[in-house]
Amino acid sequence: MIMAGFVARAAEPPAPMPAPQHVEFKYYGFYCVVDYTQMFCLTNFSGQYQDPATGQIVGFYDKYNLYGITAVAGWQWRKETALGFGFSYLNDPLKAFSQIPVFVEFRSHFLRNRITPFTSVQLGYSIPFGSKSLTADYTRIVDGGITFAINIGGRFAISQKFGLNIFAGYQLIHLKNVERGFDGVASTRMSELYDNIRFGMGVNF
């Protein structure tokens, strides 16, 4: 009787293994990130223009915010090593600083848990739209320039191939040629450097 019970139990399939306690996002292969990005300029004094009525050089103060979409696609070798190419499509309310930064990105994720911190570094060139502000004392970006950004954030895995992320960071934009003028008459053209803090949230897949 005891032997029969033992044989019956031996013939039963093994008990299922317990399910993992977290979802592990893929850490090898193609990756893509799409974020909504909001940037706030830290630069108060941006440039100068010559008043055509008096001939005086007048300091030009403007505070702009950029907002738009950032997209990156690349290849991930392991959780802490990923290289991608991306761009941002950024607008501003003044219609003077709208631009498209194109960049190379190095991205690192530090854990294989459901929630993991990450960092990203971006280096590239910012291409202006060429539009100018709809004000008497106008601004227009003639030539773009180098841009650099560093971000830190966190990613939450919904599944192995889909996650949500949020980040904060810093972005520098050095524009080679910014035209400033009054009533449609150009007064000055010079290079300008802008410091920005940036925030964003989006999806990983």
| Percentage of the chain exceeding pLDDT 90 | 50
Q: What angle do CA 147, 124, 174 make, to 5 degrees?
A: 25
pLDDT of 144 above 90: yes
Measure CA 108 to chain center.
Answer: 14
Task: Give the per-residue pLDDT at 48.
Answer: 61
Token pair recorded at residue 6: 């033992």
Question: In this predicted model, what pLDDT tens digit does every residue of 187-201 receive, in sequence order?
Answer: 677 888 889 999 999
Task: Decide: 24 and 56 in contact? Cβ < 8 Å.
Answer: no
Hey, what amino acid is at 176?
A: K
pLDDT of 2 above 60: no
- The whole-number average pLDDT for the span 157-161 is 91
pLDDT of 146 above 90: yes
Question: In this predicted model, what pLDDT tens digit does every residue of 3-34 receive, in sequence order?
Answer: 555 445 555 555 555 555 567 888 889 999 99
Assign a CATH topology to domain 25-204: Porin (2.40.160)
Question: In this predicted model, what pLDDT tens digit does every residue of 92-134 receive, in sequence order?
Answer: 887 888 999 999 999 999 988 889 999 999 999 999 987 777 7
Torsion angle of C-alpha atoms 59, 62, 70, 101, degrees rounded to 10: -20
> What are the structural domain ranges in the chain?
25-204
